[in-house]
Structure 1
């Protein structure tokens, strides 16, 4: 029996017990305002990752509400609350042991951005230390990375839309954002794409659903199996291209 078929058989064997466990311990899911990946619309969570997560639950025979909350709140819940997932979460070495992971869901390039009219140049990370203030989303992997690098000129904000607003109004000269959300956030902030320039790439990262350490391993295995199945049958690609046409998709998760 191949490894893939064996994993499928094992997931099917666990499904009955997993569904019973989910009923005994309700699943809690959190996301944030991060369009077009996940965001709220008419009081409901939507977006690329939200559609993927809902399809995983449908295939797994599960259901759970998805709460759209500030990132820091969802992150804290996923750290301490059993049976809790947060998406999308960048998988970094610093976070690896804090969560259990299902993914990847997106591929991201995180960079420094400035208004094109500022005519700024940034060719190495060290130069960014000399700017008065840099807008970052509080608790994001980019915020954590720059803190680890000893940056003291960061302005943490509650979400990416606030960064765009601060850049537009001249409150900061630099913001740190990823390529996938940039176009949507600029549009919402009434900034044309050619008014903003990418200066320097900070990091490349894949995003995942991050589950608390108190989440059953069987659930993690089952969710990963269903996500891999979506990638194999083309349904993941259809959702991805709907929200991010032309963007490269993440591959299957590495097999243990």
Structure 2
């Protein structure tokens, strides 16, 4: 099966000995997603602008999350985004952040009768999530045992809408867009965390530092906020 691969070589002169950075991500609109053969999204645009600012070649590939995450753990010059930065993941990667700061909430389908004012109350329900997704770790750390683990976000969402699971975790920012198209409602807050670019441990530190500096400028000059507004998300507190 032919992979959809987006290759971007930038207009700035390429240094002959420079290596290409391989970015992996998942299909999780409006942050990162495929539209035909094009890869788009609010975090995709930030990665594109960061790499354009430093003049380094790169690729972006959309994969199931477990594979996208696994490649960034094992393949040199590989980074995955947007990745939640938590205590467990901190020593596994080199980080460039934040692409955003987001809350994760537990949602259910409207009319399901599922209610939970606290996380303790939510533990009696079956919760769906994705393999190797950080929400799987969070749920386990918080004592959730009735977990249904799917291959990707869309598979979990289909299970929720069909009544095969009771709740699922989702980015609050994504939920604000998704609830206009699907019969979904919020139940309770699960967690809050920064989301960033996570690079394989041997990733060159000088290159990581350049990427971080470029992202810092993107945030400071208001460009990051403009990108999120473009995709219908207001990050104002």
Q: TM-score, normalised by structure 1?
A: 0.81
Partner in structure 1 of residue 61 of structure 2: 67
Separation in 1, partners of 2:147, 2:15 = 44
Question: Contact 1:107 / 1:248 at 8 angstroms: preserved in 2?
Answer: no
SS at match of 2:123: helix
Unaligned 5+ runs, structure 2: 1-12
- Asked if residue 209 in structure 1 is aligned to residue 197 in structure 2, the reply is yes
CA–CA separation in structure 2 for the residues paired with 1:160 and 1:75: 14
Residue in structure 1 matched with residue 139 of structure 2 by the alignment: 146
Aligned counterpart for 2:222 among listed residues 234, 239, 242: 234
CA–CA distance in structure 2, aligned partners of residues 101 and 20 of structure 1: 26
SS at match of 1:120: coil
Equivalent residues of 1:38, 1:45 under 8 A apart: yes
Work out whether 1:29 is the aligned partner of 2:13. no
Two-structure CA RMSD over aligned residues (Å): 2.0
Question: In structure 2, what is the Cα distance between the partners aligned to 1:237 and 1:186?
Answer: 22
**1:165-221 CA distances to partner (integer Å, 9 max, x unpaired)?**
21111111111111122244456xx52xxx322111110111000011010000110
Range with bigger deviation, 39-48 or 234-243: 234-243
Contact kept, 8 Å, 2:173 with 2:233, in 1: the verdict is: no
* Unmatched runs of 5 consecutive residues or more in structure 1: 1-15, 250-256
**Secondary structure of the corresponding residue to residue 80 of structure 2:** strand
Partners of 1:141 and 1:114 lie apart in 2 by: 19
Aligned length: 225
8 A contact 2:177–2:232 mirrored in 1: no
SS at match of 1:104: strand
1:229 to partner: Cα distance: 1.2
Kept after mapping to 2: 8 A contact 1:91/1:205: yes
Instruction: Work out whether residues 36 and 47 of structure 1, in 8 Å CA contact, stay in contact via their aligned partners in 2.
Output: yes
Q: For 1:126, which of 116, 120, 124 is the aligned residue?
A: 120
